[in-house]
Amino acid sequence: MAVTAQGRTHAAQIVRQLARAYPDATCSLDFRTPLELLVATILSAQCTDQRVNKVTPGLFKKYPSAADYATAPIAALERDVQSTGFFRNKAKNIQGCCRALVEQYDGQVPRDIDALVALPGIGRKTANVILGTAFGIASGVVVDTHVGRLSRRMGLTDQKDPVRVEQDLMARIPQKEWVVFSHRMIRLGRDYCTARKPKCDVCPLADACPRIGVETL
């Protein structure tokens, strides 16, 4: 999707109105350290953040370091994350990732997107979450289902592939806004711009959104 002056102006309006609607938006996953956020983000795949936040207090207490995850019996780790769904794959990814952290980074989470995406179970979205939320590094725009859906409705992209959506957003939105933009879009998606029956009549961005595709839902 080509970037035009009109497109940048439209994106700037979206950014301003999101800031007014959600000035204090932050990540909804509970964490204290970069490792905890990494684990929570892996668990959040195909699972609500609320469910993840119920599981992680006990998980983080039981496994305080990457080495603890790396050496845990896999069956025990699977039981500990079972309620988040797809637990075998998630346990495998958490353990594989933490083993790599121990072997390559002395158990610490690296502050580099290329290093992060090379870890087991870590894609670009997860890497952007970790860098932006744990370290304050704007490496890109987190594109989850909410951000992708809202971006298309708002006319910020016409792409469906998350990588292409991210490229369109990075071209239109100032880098200093990348991290908080995703948090605010996710809040708006949960509160108003739902997949079915979006609440356009009361949405705080109603006057800026062209509502692309809404009429066909």
On the 0-12 / 13-18 / 19+ scale of CB atoms within 10 A, 69 is buried
Written as six digits, the tokens of 149 are 């859906």
Ramachandran bin of 85, using left for φ above 0, alpha for ψ from -120 to 50, beta for the remaining angles = left
Please report the DSSP string for 17-38 in residue order: HHHHH-TT---SS--SSHHHHH
Alpha helices in 82-212 (DSSP H): 87-105, 113-117, 124-129, 145-153, 162-172, 178-191
On the 0-12 / 13-18 / 19+ scale of CB atoms within 10 A, 145 is exposed
Say which of 144, 158, 176, 201 is annotated catalytic: 144
Catalytic site includes residue 199: no
Catalytic site includes residue 125: yes
Report, as residue numbers or ranges, the catalytic residues: 125, 144
